[in-house]
Structure 1
Amino acid sequence: MNLSEIPMKSGSKPRSSNIELLRIYAMFFIVWCHLWAGEVAVSGGSFMSHLFANSLGIGAVDIFILITGYFLIRRTEFTLVRFFKILFQVIFYNFVIVAVFVALGSAPPKDLLVCLFPLAPTKFNVWFVSQYLALILLQPFISRLISSLTKTQYRALLCIMLLLTTDFLPAFPLGYMYSGSFKLSWFITLFLVGGYVRIHGIPAIHGGVYALMFVVLSILWSTSYLRGYTQIGYNSLLTLAVSVTLLCVALKTDIGSNKAVNWIASSTFAVYLIHQNYYLSHIIYRYTPDPIDSGFTAVFASGILYMVILFMAMVAIDKVRILIFDLCRVPRFEQWLSDKIISLARKTFAGSTVRSL
């Protein structure tokens, strides 16, 4: 099950794969940015070729959180199942990968214990995972707040959050003071934007117009990045604009329900966890092909091919993990643990708010 999908009831209409394809796109270019973008940057080529390369995968992190908001904004029930689903994945991959490196003599045995606490201030704490887990904990409360707001009030809240968390020019808006690309506050803003799109929809504009807007904004982003005209980060207004227009393109593109796309998309978060593991990331980067002398086109093409192979290999690994979790009844344990903690909270705290969870 995806981290942010809404489970379908038996006999319901198959889920459209347009957003799932966008999820794959986002994670693919997150991996691309981590492993290959640097190779492309130093491989020669004209300004136009680098403009093209930098126009791909813009706002991939933002897109991933927008999708989370799009799917979860209406889920107001309080549950810890999603939190444990993510946490147990993180612990599983940390432990298995570290165990392999310990067996090979490339990691100290103590790391087998340290890696079991991914939120502790250690080398196994990945910023995205920490912020995402915090967002998932807050999600039911955010969704419940939004359910009580009118459309006008929701817009006002969005405007305030955008003012307080985004950047565009130095000291404008106020993201430099209250937020940043790697902060929970920015994730909350993205969640709210994705939720707004889900609840109130997008302007009735032809999909081709959204696609053209996406291309134009991507070129502006890439030019600004290469020339240093504006503040460019995950919380840049320009990055957000690119991400939102691509989400609109996906919503306007009906590809039906594709089992292969949905199958791959359900493991995208695992791709992030695997390639960002402290020990494995160093190995993957070390053995990434390095055809610097081949020129821009060859480097770019080989990077795409290498990323596709690596991406699918990590998806295949996660399918094994899912099978292991199912055999060990981990999903059932996640539900049991969530129920127990919530039940304990109700007994411990006497407030009416807790009783209504």
Structure 2
Amino acid sequence: MPQPDKVTGRSARSLNIELLRILAMLLVVYCHMIIHVDFTNGASRIVLPMYPGWKSAISFAIVQYGQVGVSIFFMISGYFLVKKQFSWRRIFSTWFQMFLYAVLCLVIAIVAKQFRPLPFGTNELLSGSQTLDTVLWSLCPFLYNSYWFIDAYILMLLLSPFINTVYAHMSQKQILALIALLMFIGTWPLFFSRANHWNNVVYAVLGYIIGAYIQTYRNSLRAISNGVLAICTVLCTALMLGFNHFVLSESYWAQRLTWTAQIHQGLQILPIFIAFCFFVAACRLPQIRLPHIWSTFLLHVSAGTFGVYLLHENTFGFRFIWGVVASWLPNISSKTGFVLTYIVTGLLIFAVLDIIAMLIDRLLTHPLRRFIISKTAVNR
């Protein structure tokens, strides 16, 4: 998820892709909200409970649509970086932003704990023997896998020059064969969980290569009609719902195949297919043209999406944010009321966190990063 120093430097980039980036983070926010907020009882929780029936199947489909958002971010990276030179600054910028947010949340939590009890089990993170792990989690976020998505993203960046070199010497058929192979690896967890070579790095690399393919062969992809993209999205969503309903039924075969352990991520390849459809649709739509003030605003919002993730997936942040959201929820008695409340709440959370992220980046992240880079350059 490259974060250029200046928003004006992104003016040449497609607003369609920036809107896609915003949509991707909204999907991630909605995913985490359905996991951590119990709208029925107005309470927060750590995990989404498993119940038989379509209602629970839909809830887990929303969770899996969060993976659609993550896949889009990986694809955007491949789309823009496949023809670019390797940059240590890009890796440092990504790591430094993650580190700064983690430390900032830790400091705020420690200070706040001195004045009042923290919500949603946060006090335990700073009590007794757990304190050391919490501090290490914040000071060494990359080594501790504090943010799995950012860890995978940084490793993908480290691998990108090798991927780009190999990619440049492959034919279209070879690239498609590699994508198909990696997609097949994504199905292995379904085979009795005996052979599982799918992990976050493979996931990131696959998304990167698909994004690179869209960049390289975007003209030929125009042959895929919008109707085909829509049908593919609907079919993949229907398969996700069917899979979830079957797994949640707790039938003999669902347990025998050990698919209950896969309910959170579901059929991993389906969110990737949906992300591909979204991406191709965004690329083929007419380019959005907005007045300068609105395009600048949109680019600022897009630039804050990384911070939105770092805030609401922080070990303190998610407990505080979802705890507050759950306590403020109104009593919901109808399905329509639930849907409207869910949609509006997610938009509000995204908007508030994006504003906070933009302020943190403008006041702390970017100035400190530029200072460190300049000092490093001078020392050299």
Query: Is the TM value for this pair above 0.5?
Result: yes
Residue 184 (structure 1) aligned to one of 184, 201, 204: 201
C-alpha separation in 1, matches of 2:336 and 2:271: 26
Residue 187 (structure 2) aligned to one of 167, 183, 186: 167
Q: Which amino acid aligns with 2:206?
A: T
- Which segment is superposed worse, 219-228 or 53-62? 53-62
Residue 68 (structure 1) aligned to one of 54, 77, 80: 77
The structure where helix makes up a greater share of residues is 2
Residue 273 (structure 1) aligned to one of 285, 310, 322: 310
Q: 1:209: how far off? A: 3.5
Aligned residues of 1:30 and 1:57 also touching (Cα < 8 A)? yes
SS of residue in 1 equivalent to 2:20: helix
Aligned residues of 2:229 and 2:281 also touching (Cα < 8 A)? yes
C-alpha separation in 2, matches of 1:3 and 1:296: 39
Q: Which amino acid aligns with 1:314?
A: L
Query: Structure 1 residues 16, 153: closer, same or farther in 2, change over 3 A?
Result: same
In structure 2, the residue matched to 1:25 is: 23
In structure 2, the residue matched to 1:95 is: 103
Task: State how 1:262-301 maps to structure 2 within 5 Å.
Answer: 262-289=299-326, 290-291=329-330, 293-301=332-340
Query: Structure 1 residues 287, 193: closer, same or farther in 2, change over 3 A?
Result: same
Aligned residues of 1:19 and 1:251 also touching (Cα < 8 A)? yes
Aligned residues of 1:30 and 1:61 also touching (Cα < 8 A)? yes
Aligned residues of 2:101 and 2:310 also touching (Cα < 8 A)? yes
In structure 2, the residue matched to 1:210 is: 229
SS of residue in 2 equivalent to 1:278: coil
Q: Which amino acid aligns with 2:271?
A: T
Aligned residues of 1:41 and 1:50 also touching (Cα < 8 A)? no
Query: Structure 1 residues 57, 160: closer, same or farther in 2, change over 3 A?
Result: closer
What's the RMSD between the two structures over aligned residues? 3.7
Q: 1:304: how far off? A: 1.5
C-alpha separation in 2, matches of 1:135 and 1:235: 22
Residue 117 (structure 1) aligned to one of 134, 140, 144: 140
SS of residue in 1 equivalent to 2:358: helix
TM-score (norm 1): 0.78
2:245 is the counterpart of 1:246 = no
2:207 is the counterpart of 1:196 = no
Query: Structure 1 residues 277, 191: closer, same or farther in 2, change over 3 A?
Result: same
Query: Structure 1 residues 239, 40: closer, same or farther in 2, change over 3 A?
Result: farther
C-alpha separation in 1, matches of 2:5 and 2:354: 21
Query: Structure 1 residues 283, 140: closer, same or farther in 2, change over 3 A?
Result: same
User: Gaps spanning 5+ residues in structure 1: where?
Assistant: 344-357
Identity of aligned residues (%): 22
Q: Which amino acid aligns with 1:275?
A: H
- Which segment is superposed worse, 55-64 or 266-275? 55-64
C-alpha distance after superposition, 1:144-164 (max 9, x if no partner): 22112222332232233223x
Aligned residues of 1:58 and 1:218 also touching (Cα < 8 A)? no
C-alpha distance after superposition, 1:203-238 (max 9, x if no partner): 513334323432333233223323338866376222
